[in-house]
Structure 1
Amino acid sequence: MPLIIEKTLKGQRALVTGGSSGIGAAVARALAEAGTRVAINYLSDAEDAQKLVDEIQAGGGEAFAVQADVSREEEVKLMFELAIKRWGSLDILIANAGIQLDSAFTEMTLAQWDKVLAVNLTGQFLCAREAVKEFLRRGLIPELSSAMGKIICMSSVHDIIPWAGHVNYAASKGAVLMFMKSLAQEVAHQRIRVNAISPGAIRTPINRSAWETPEAERELLKLIPYERIGEPMDIGHAAVWLASDASDYVIGTTLYVDGGMTLYPGFREGG
């Protein structure tokens, strides 16, 4: 899908966690195309992160890569310090980093439970906390944005759709839903906008087995009323809109970018 994005975020500065691949990389590309300087966070894949930085810079944008484990407080603080030192401040946080450690419930270990919650939920808390602190320190810059700062929590349709065999993941995303709403309620009066994006089935390497073969794709499409698998840039475009002044009155909202997956397509013929 080609990038067709106006420079709606020109001059703004963003941090995308988990930004070296998949949805995070698409969001970073879309933000850069919209005129944003982008800090691309990664955990271990320095090569892919640098390739994305090079790609953005080759297209006339500005980006740099920064390593951090979002579940570790000191690493998150250092990541924000580096980004703020480089660009003076931040205007947008895309809290995208997340993992799956799948298991039947009776076989799920405490380590699997703790790790998924640590990255998918605590990681969002730590990053959002540092972002809000920076927005309040810096204050409103009307020529850049109507809001003092924007936070987009990357969630999943499994914040409302149960998912057997993935109890830790679904629980973490359900918690992100209420985390986002509660934070939005707390900081909206300070002109900080907090929202979420919940992707459905997106064509990324992490779920390759669900779409790689024609048979697998046919089964997956039964869950998608729009009858196509989402592309990473579908999420990128949504993130640009949510970060822009075009959505300035959108507060505490989850945008489901899922081709209708949350419409429970099984009830189209039955129920």
Structure 2
Amino acid sequence: MRKKLVLALSGVAALFALTACGGASAAPEAGAALDPANPVELKIGASPVPQAQILEYVNENLAKDAGIKLNIVEFDDYILPNQQLAAGELDANYFQHLPYLEDQIKTQGYEFSHGTGIHLEPYRAYSNKHKDLASIPDGATVVITSDVSNQTRALQLLADNGLLKDVPADASVVSLTDEQNPKGLKFEETDPAIVVNQLKDPKADLAIINGNFAIQAGLKPADALFSEKIEGNPYANLLVWNTKDDGNKAIAKLEELLHSQQVQDYIKKTWPELS
């Protein structure tokens, strides 16, 4: 079962006020087997692609025998899934990576726990104006997310490919010095879901796009000018729940199923670009 909940994205940037902290990985113990004859229903918030589709696969192929049933609610933003989880309107969510979660925990005061990474959505740089990295001119306009944790990630991607220099771990667009931005890049900050739409703007030389939004827009890894490294990448998406539910056997079972070989095979077959 899937439902969709959409947040109007205008003005969303003001709702992001992120720094750094941490919620420990504390996967609840699976304990005794659940009863398939009386499945426990879990209401899970997720981004439409690929997270909700992965959950749908679990629900249709694995959940019944495991004694759980998923009620999947789709979100087109990165704000409501954590708000609704904290309010008890969701049992868990699956849309975010650890650096973003840690920022949310510190800034918003959430008491969340999380599992281990399930899949990675690499950040990639796309352009409708330029065919390769060498073609990006001095003073180029780069469309980038306004979400602070992912903005740092995008800036690091630019640095890894020689467009910026010596970018610190806590960098933001406004903190860049002339020495760190030797090409004089200009940045257009916008909401994460809208970056992909700005790719069509004639003024945009480059857009740094998250993997899930790239997939939804039909962009392929081969279309990218350059991509984020996979090895050692800390941005894998994970399952998140309220810390008070650390002993919830149904959530533990879902965490287990999301790491099953069947699910990993499904992800690799359906989205070869994801890891």
Per the normalisation by structure 1, the TM-score is 0.31
Which has the higher Rg, Structure 1 or Structure 2?
2
Higher strand share: 2
Higher helix share: 1
Q: Which has the higher contact order (CA 8 A, sep 6+)?
A: 2
